[in-house]
Structure 1
Amino acid sequence: MEIAHLELLRELADRGSVTEVARATGRTTSAVSQQLRLLQRTAGVQLLERSGRGVRLTDAGEALARTAVKVSTAIAEAEADWDRYRRTATGTVRLAFFYSAGEILIPGLLDRMDAYPQIELITDERDVGEGDFDALVSDFDIVIAHRSDGGAVADRSRLHVTHLLREPVDVAVALDHRLAKLDRVTTADVIDEPWIGVPKEFPLDRVLSAVSLQAGRDAKIIFRTTHLPLAEKLVEVGRGVALLPRHSSRPRAAGRFALVPLAGIRAGRHLEALSRPDRAARRSVRLVLDALTAEAATL
């Protein structure tokens, strides 16, 4: 079987349509379809079947797509071993991150990557819902994702997952707020406050849902934003309270607002680096992952 044909099958398994595979690989849809038919002929079994206006993988196609991942990972590992032997580290690494993760990780990451001038790091800011980060690995070598404490974890058997850190989430209140001087607050203390929230399906919203569940009534959300500095400003001027990630917001809190830990509930979010297994095996990607892990450890 042609490795390039196996790669197309794997792309189809990840992206779901021939049109998306063509877009991602710079081919025409007819060229992709033709090469997939050649692979099917070589395999000797049906790999694709019609589904509406498109196609989907059969059980045999799914099995061969998993094999394609193993093949590409093995090749990447062999190339990485050779690069280590030659003591070289070159290539382009595409990194997607969300805003608040960038604040606490990217400056230190760039400092660490100065040691590898032949690795080109291309970054792109992507902030999506908790369940939408996994799909980004098709277009990026590394995706920095976050998920809430206790949130359901999707099947990631096709992904390489690197845990970076758990970031506690605190309640942010104005300095003159009645709760600002407390060492910690309970859900009962804060549930009836006006809340500055984030869009639904984001990790901080899931934490606020847990707060509501424990308090026995819904939080009143008066404004939603993904931009933490805006949420901090609204808290500072007394518009409401908010759940804010500690490492991200603490440098801006002094003299503006107070961060108070929540008692009786596990409030936090997990930051993870997601990659395709074959890309994670590349030496250049591995060095960036190692640098991210080292930077996260400093927090």
Structure 2
Amino acid sequence: MTLIEPGLPGTFDLDSQTLRVVAAIAEYGSITRAATVLGYSQPALSQQLKRVESRLGMPLVTRAGRGIRLTDAGEVVARHAASVLPALDAAAGELADLAGLRSGSVRLAAFPSASSTLVPRLLGAMAAEHPGVRFSYLEGEPPEAVSGVRDGLLDVAIAFRHPADRNDPFEASAEGLAVHPLLRDAVLLLAPTAHPALATGGPVDLRRLRTDKWIAGCPRCRGHLLDSCARAGFAPAIAFETDNAVAVKSMVAAGLGVALLPELAVSASPLPDGVAARPTAAGDHRLVVAVTRPGADRIPAIAETLRLLATLGAANTCP
């Protein structure tokens, strides 16, 4: 705290300890009693008081008979201490709550299949362990969610990237932000159980489906489908497009085509009768990550959110 008195040269620096010493002397009328209350020895508090008076260039206390009283300067300090110290104590209490995760807030966004798998488990764990931390949640695809972090509208975005795709836009969208790996999410082939490509029972070579009709997903998933098929040497014949994973499963069940879906999306709801999910021979997958602003993991509530997400990812605790 800095007090500047009109008509007096210079600036007077007062720390919180000085305010507490003067406030205690004002309340108890005795250096000895003030020292006891504050946990000092009387000589130590007297020496501290002398150092402050020397720095200020004026006395804060003076003798009055057998006791002491505050000088005009001491009265000024004591008067301001009465309003400043409660504010400092309140700030210290709120900081302690934040550090101890008894309070805090996190603005979170995630893509749809994480909304029904990772996010409920995260929010449930936080509510159980740290009920004072407040969450706001927005569902959004990675480009919008990452943009929200960059613009300061969100604290954490759960996003994904396809590391094998040449045209995956994630790296450019997250440039300059902090990316925290969470889990490897296999991309599975969905096809009717009687499809000849599934006869071997193991991973499926996409080349065996080059003549099939395909159902594409969201723009990012559609791009991954095109890249995966290109690596297998063909361009898929896309018959339908929808970003609704349940609709994709139903279309496959109806015999309208085959599809690629991430395991998070597959596990979010039961597969219809007559539909099978198999890994691809190429090991198609995406990486699920959390995106924050640099340094945000020093904020206790955000750091705990990232820790729990990493735990969920390491355990691969999808339903």
TM range (shorter): 0.5 to 0.7
Q: Following TM superposition, by how much is the alpha carbon of 1:278 offset from its aligned partner in structure 2, in angstroms? A: 3.8
Secondary structure of the residue that 1:183 maps to in structure 2?
coil
Q: Aligned match of 2:157 in 131, 137, 143?
A: 143
Instruction: Provide the rounded CA distance (Å) in 1 between the counterparts of 2:244 and 2:99.
Output: 44
- Root mean square deviation, CA, Å: 2.4
The residue identity in structure 2 corresponding to 1:215 is A
Could you tell me the percent identity over the aligned residues? Answer: 26
Residue 119 (1) aligns with residue 133 (2): yes
Offset of 1:128 from its aligned partner?
Answer: 4.7
Aligned to 2:121: 108
Tell which structure's C-alpha radius of gyration is larger.
2
Match of 1:17 in 2: none
Q: Secondary structure at the match of 2:176?
A: coil
Provide Cα deviations, 1:11-48, integer angstroms capped at 9, x if missing partner.
xxxxxxxxxxxxxxxxxxxxxxxxxxxxxxxxxxxxxx
Distance 1:109 1:146 in 2: 17
Q: TM-score normalised to the size of structure 1? A: 0.65
- How many Å apart are 1:98 and its aligned residue? 0.9
Code of the residue aligned with 2:117 in structure 1: it is I
Count of aligned positions: 214
| Amino acid in structure 1 at the alignment position of 2:107 | R
SS at match of 1:252: coil
- Structure 1 residue runs without a partner (length 5+): 1-78
Matched, 1:210 2:222: no
Please tell me whether the aligned partners of residues 190 and 259 of structure 2 are also in contact (alpha carbons under 8 angstroms): yes
Q: What displacement does 1:154 show?
A: 2.3
1:280 aligns with 2:297: yes
Give the letter for the 1:120 counterpart. R
Q: Distance in 2 between matches of 1:256 and 1:281?
A: 49
**Matched residues in 1 for 2:98 and 2:159: separation?**
32
Deviations 1:129-182 (A, max 9, x none): 5xx543120210000111113245227453121111110111100223223443
Native 8 Å contact 1:194 1:220 kept in 2: yes
Is residue 192 of structure 1 aligned with residue 204 of structure 2? no
SS across alignment from 1:158: coil
Q: Which residue of 2 aligns with 1:98?
A: 111
User: Are 1:298 and 2:302 an aligned pair?
Assistant: no
Alpha carbons of 1:155 and 1:258: their partners in 2 closer, same or farther (altered >3 Å)? closer
Secondary structure of the equivalent of 1:207? helix
Match of 1:171 in 2: 189
* AA matched with 1:93: V
1:254 Cα deviation after fit: 6.6
Once residues 291 and 101 of structure 1 are traced to their aligned partners in structure 2, the CA distance between those partners, rounded to angstroms, is 14
Question: Who is 1:270 aligned against?
Answer: 287
Closer, same or farther in 2 for the Cα pair 1:83/1:296, shift >3 Å?
farther
Task: Quickly say closer, same or farther: Cα 1:89–1:279, change in 2 above 3 A.
Answer: farther
Q: Which residue pairs with 1:260 in the alignment?
A: 278
* Runs of 4+ residues over 6 Å off in structure 1: none
Alignment check: 8 A CA contact 2:212 2:258 kept: yes
TM-score, normalised to structure 2's length? 0.61
- Distance (Å, rounded) in 1 between the aligned partners of 2:161 and 2:101: 35
CA distance in 2, matches of 1:238, 1:254: 12
**For residues 62-119 of structure 1, what are the alpha-carbon distances to aligned partners after superposition, in whole Å with 9 as ceiling and x for unaligned?**
xxxxxxxxxxxxxxxxx9xx64896344111110011101122012112211211110
In structure 2, the gaps of 5 or more residues are 1-91
* Closer/same/farther in 2, CA of residues 96 and 155 from structure 1, 3 Å limit: closer
Higher relative CO (Cα under 8 Å, sequence separation at least 6) belongs to 1
Aligned pair in 2 of structure 1 residues 85, 135: CA closer, same or farther (>3 Å)?
closer
| Deviation for aligned residue 1:122 | 0.8
Q: Residues 175 and 236 of structure 1 are in contact (CA less than 8 Å); yes or no, is this contact kept in structure 2?
A: no
Letter of the structure 2 residue corresponding to residue 148 of structure 1 = H
Q: What SS class does the counterpart of residue 274 from structure 1 fall into?
A: strand
Q: Does the aligned pair in 1 maintain the 2:158–2:288 contact within 8 Å?
A: yes
> Taking structure 1 as reference, are residues 90 and 192 closer, same or farther at Cα in structure 2, changes over 3 Å only?
same
Q: CA deviation at 1:256?
A: 4.2
Letter paired with 1:183 = G
Q: For residues 178-236 of structure 1, what are the alpha-carbon distances to aligned partners after superposition, in whole Å with 9 as ceiling and x for unaligned?
A: 23443122121012211110243x0x323312232233331011111111111111111
Determine if contact 1:141/1:280 at 8 Å carries over to the other structure.
no
SS at match of 2:117: helix
